[in-house]
Copies of this chain bind each other. A is one copy, B any other.
């Protein structure tokens, strides 16, 4: 259970890292959205391993095949199934994992919960599962762009202690993709590259923070009281591998302010109601207010490191284990398209959720007048 996300725009992912394939089924995409495999491929290529020296050297073509839900280039509003074959599987790299639990990985908890685990390469717990999310997120992003003018822009804001300075007014996808770090601050990016390289040489790993800015958000998204927009965004990002924290707007830092400095004063501008500051991060009372949505997600240092570590084997005996598989010394750059995908899935879902009562309300008001 737990492999489906969303209420009306729903994605179900499937697949183990070294099984035949990974993929997703997306149910609830509205009809007549132009969609081709190239749309998915563009986002999958951003997620793909082996892009640079910063990331794992596993080589996967990650070719997305659209199996259903599209007819003559348009979505049918029937389920869209996406299939990506696994090709570069090297099970021999994982022989050791068959017997021993890797620290801070999911080996032990999966074995304990299910009495079985696909021990090769993490199986279902591998980040390879996110291929399906990214494919689904590509569709969500296209829907948001074409139907609401909404744009999701995630970037690496921090690697360990190296913090980027980013002017959100100038932020765009090009700036983000300029360096393999996906950090749009070139000075910080350079230092990040060095730091990550040093960690790789050390057989160690680093964590950091991905920040997301969403522009062109329609007001009215979010379903209080439990399916508040920030609650669903938080769940979405915290469901990503290695994510340990989530903030919206002022987040943890905002707790240092007082109400009088934290509150966002309203003003009117060109017929729109705006706020002068955006400590709220674009969401008030669980509902988007039309300002930019700003969220941050913390990603821990990659659990796989090329060092000897204390652990136990499947029989509970003490042993040691040393990572051998290909791995990312820092997941941040590759986490960016994952965050883009998850944020887009939440927004597309809430866009549909609010459309129904809004349409009913509007038709009622038209009848009244």
Contact of A318 with B267 at beta-carbon distance under 8 Å, contacts A1-B227, A110-B287, A353-B1 already known: yes
Q: Once the chains bind, are A246 and B255 in contact (CB under 8 Å)?
A: no
**Cβ-based interface call for A250 (8 A):** yes
Q: DSSP majority for the A interface?
A: mixed
> Which of B3, B106, B266, B361 is the one whose CB lies under 8 Å from A30?
B361
What residues on B are CB-neighbors of A227 within 8 Å? 1-2, 239
Distance, CA A177 to CA B174, complexed state (A)? 53
Task: List the number of copies, as a whole number.
Answer: 4
> Nearest-CB distance from A274 to chain B (Å)?
9
Stretch from A53-61, A115-123, A164-172, A185-193 at the B interface: A115-123
Nearest B residue (CB) for A219: B112
- What are 25 A-B interface contacts by the 8 Å CB criterion? A1-B7, A1-B8, A1-B10, A2-B223, A8-B356, A12-B25, A14-B80, A15-B67, A15-B81, A19-B70, A20-B66, A28-B357, A32-B364, A33-B364, A71-B117, A78-B124, A106-B285, A106-B286, A114-B357, A230-B243, A244-B248, A244-B255, A246-B246, A260-B309, A276-B310
Distance, CA A158 to CA B253, complexed state (A)? 12
**Cβ-based interface call for A206 (8 A):** yes
Q: Once the chains bind, are A225 and B124 in contact (CB under 8 Å)?
A: yes
> Nearest-CB distance from A324 to chain B (Å)?
15
**Cβ-based interface call for A23 (8 A):** yes
Which size class do A's interface residues fall under?
Answer: 35 or more
**Cβ-based interface call for A363 (8 A):** yes
Distance, CA A256 to CA B207, complexed state (A)? 7
Q: Once the chains bind, are A23 and B67 in contact (CB under 8 Å)?
A: yes
**Cβ-based interface call for A333 (8 A):** no
Q: Once the chains bind, are B118 and A71 in contact (CB under 8 Å)?
A: yes
What residues on B are CB-neighbors of A5 within 8 Å? 226
